[in-house]
A and B are shown apart, each in its own frame.
Chain A
Amino acid sequence: MENMDKTASVSLDKKRKAAGASVSGDPSRAANLGRFREAALAALFIAPALLLFGIFLFYPLIQSVYLSLHSTNPRGQVANFVGLTNFRNLFASSGFPNSLVVTLKFILFTVPASLALALAFAAVCRSKIRGMRIFRFVFALPIAVSVSTGSIMWMVLFHPTLGSLNYFLGKMGLAPVQWLTDPNMALLSISLMTVWMNVGFLFILLLGGMQGIPEEIYESARIDGSGPMRTFWTLTLPLVSPTLFFASVTSVIGAFQAFGQINILTKGGPVNSTDVLVFSLYEDAFVNFRFGVGSAQALVLFAIVLLITVIQFVFAERKVHYQ
């Protein structure tokens, strides 16, 4: 990029200088003018995005800090400064630490399973076996399902008496499961539904990564007599690791943001067993109108996501193989 800018700008400067010389006889002034106009154009081009980021991402971040240090009335107006009381209350209450634990469990239940499935699907679809185009479409399907549509689809499946899941369990001679009302089961059920929902996007991402691997490498592996499993472990997996790494980062962050399926299927219950962070934030801020406490939770969420992103980068960067 740098190189290109230089060569292009040299030719541009030459031309401008020539033009400038004939008009004013002062080439450096003309070049300065050109440079200024380019910067002005850049400012114009960047302004819309920067303005939007400023209003809807950076300002809110600062505003969150401000709100979290205050108590607020139900209109969202600041009542008085309370210092770190909101944070102290958060960690002193039983609700917030529970939310943290629930969220971590949710990540453990969903992220590895989604990644493993998506990886397997992509590995199968990458091979040029006949009929794989159909499977490719099938595996990508969940990306078209929104969280609310998906939740209601699964609500039918999870129905304790009329749902197909319990019907099949009964067929296999197993006792029916209270998918969404048993405190030990609810988070697992939500996770099952979430894995199903996430697999489409991750599959598309990983398949794209695998298609970027040059065919010749596979060709020579085949000539060397490498079987499909060995090819996968020693060739595909290392070469797709940058994509896998990106997929894992986005999955973990996505799991932290889970809200819709919980709001629709369980409302955080039974006995707070599915009360993930964003749901608890939503309840505090938009059901109980405690914007200060809600903002404190938002900031804790931000800190955790930031920390995890940094950790993932530091650790994974070493193991990831870039071509």
Chain B
Amino acid sequence: MEERKYIPFTEEMRREYTILVPNMLPRHFKLFLQVFKNYGYTLELLETSGHRIIESGLKYVHNDTCYPAILVIGQFIDALNSGKYDVHKTALILFQTGGGCRASNYIFLLRKALEKAGYGFVPVISFNLGGLENHPGFRLTIPILHRLFYAIIYGDMLLTLVNQCKPYEVNAGETERLADELTVELADKMQCEGVSFKKVKENCKMMLSRFAEIERRNEKKIKVGVVGEIYVKYSPLGNNNLEQFLIDEGAEVVVPGLLDFFMYCIVSNLTDIWLYGLNKLRLPVLKLVFNYLVGQQNAIIELMKEDGNFTPPTPIKHTMELIREFMGLGTKMGEGWLLPAEMLELNDEGVHNIVCTQPFGCLPNHICGKGMMKPLKEKNPDMNIVAIDYDSGASKVNQENRIKLMLANARADMEEKERENGSEPAVPEKNEKIFVKNT
């Protein structure tokens, strides 16, 4: 069989080309970009939004393909069309996880789309921890990977802290401002400080104390967890600004971090060995990496506990324990077991209200999302889950109406619990604020 043809990203391109990066998690990705910039790459994060992206996606990708593919490819083509870039000096990068889900095909769909749109000459780099294509000008070295890993830690920390501060901040915008500042600062630090876990811990402590300084109202809000397919879960472009909507509705949003997903991918490789006896030689390395990550995650959790101002995330091993009763760890396509596991993790942390996001027709989610709701709820009657499908044709009003139903139940539940505890039910002023969105 002949090799599939693609345009390699050469050493020369590295010097002259700008690599466009699709957005998913804004702060994480800004940090990632910084890592690559430090190694001599020119990258630009696409922060565009708007209807043109969807239009371009629908035009060049099979319309039944998952929504994230339509958005990401649409965003690329829209950018190439914008005239902002010299298309002959531009490359694209796509992040992929691989596996039995159709998402592993994104890169080929992107190349097909580029060809159709007349950009067949634009090189595409697949950022994939599995089988990487050979791009002489783009290599993931151990030092880069190491730094990227710390970028994930910083990004997750920012995500967690912003979510826990923003709904309560007294001075509007303060949280976001601080997070923006810190993103720049951390990027700088990664450049000049080098990498050592000691430094990472110091920086995390610094972040904790800086966020603790934000003046916050002491009020009780409904906590809403967000889980789901990784792109629509995180990307505001994919989920119609879900986080902001929930905050406007008076909720505190809890989103599990990217590190969990990263570790899930490693577990997926481990299950291939455990269950099927494949690639046994990789076992020692995988175990080593997994244990290393677990160790670092635990250290950060410890740090947060010592600090005491914020709720730390759940250690992955505990999350894995929670899911065992419901689903085998061998379910590894898409978000696999991690999706229901994160619902349980949230429930365990006392976050009973959950939005489960998925692209319309997402195959793994038939099993891991909607397929797991019944057994999960049976065992945990407190869980209040709503599944929301995202897609180019889905109407925002329908999505919001369903989320509002979930919130109404959450509120009733909270009031009941407060009554049981003998405290006063929620104050009317707050109610008004929750029920009538300020326009």
Q: Is the pairing of A and B real?
A: no
Residues of B that sit less than 8 Å from A by CB: none
